[in-house]
Homo-oligomer: A and B are copies of this chain.
């Protein structure tokens, strides 16, 4: 009986459902027509909802975009976090899991990469990003640094510091994402993953491959 969670869009639906629909339509619109083409008309048409709903469920368009960014950041964090609890994972396994998450299809696809870089490209959203989502980035960096420290200790590596490695990793993550977005024919998720693993095997040869 309970069709509360039905995806079938009823004439009325709980606020949460509508918000999710709108956020999804926003991402699709941005990826298809760019940030400038992501008008409320385009977004609501994509969602199959009425124009007025955005300002009803969100305070403004800017709020919708901010929520979209937040959604993306949290979805990403959920992905790499879920493997960290596993007791049977070594630090290297966990680092590997984070790298995997970075290029997981759920996160690393044209639809979502378009949105990320649309936000990065607009100064106003960079600021918004820093204030709402950067702590997630920092959290991941902290975790990675911790893992690298363990790995370095285990392997007794004399190379770059844990901080150095992590900053290089972060740089690689973003840069490879951009390459995948710009040249989808030349750069693939798989290739990018290989690139990062190749780097890790260079710094931590005893742990990676």
Contact = CB atoms under 8 A, between A and B. Distances in A.
A195 B179 contact: no
A66 interface: no
Contacts of A130: 182-183
Contact of A179 (B36, B171, B177): B171
A68 interface: no
A208 to B, nearest CB: 13
Contacts of A178: 120, 171, 174-175, 178
Interface in A140-199: 159-160, 164, 167-168, 170-179, 181-183, 187, 191-192, 195, 198-199
Contact of A198 (B129, B168, B173, B187): B168
A92 interface: no
- In this complex, the interface size class of chain A, counting residues with CB under 8 Å from chain B, is 35 or more
Interface of A: 31-37, 114, 117-126, 129-130, 134, 159-160, 164, 167-168, 170-179, 181-183, 187, 191-192, 195, 198-199, 202-203
Given A117-B117, A160-B198, A171-B176, 10 more contacts: A34-B122, A35-B36, A36-B124, A37-B124, A117-B120, A129-B182, A130-B182, A167-B191, A168-B195, A175-B176
The 6 closest A-B pairs by CB, nearest first: A121-B121, A175-B175, A171-B175, A174-B175, A34-B123, A171-B176
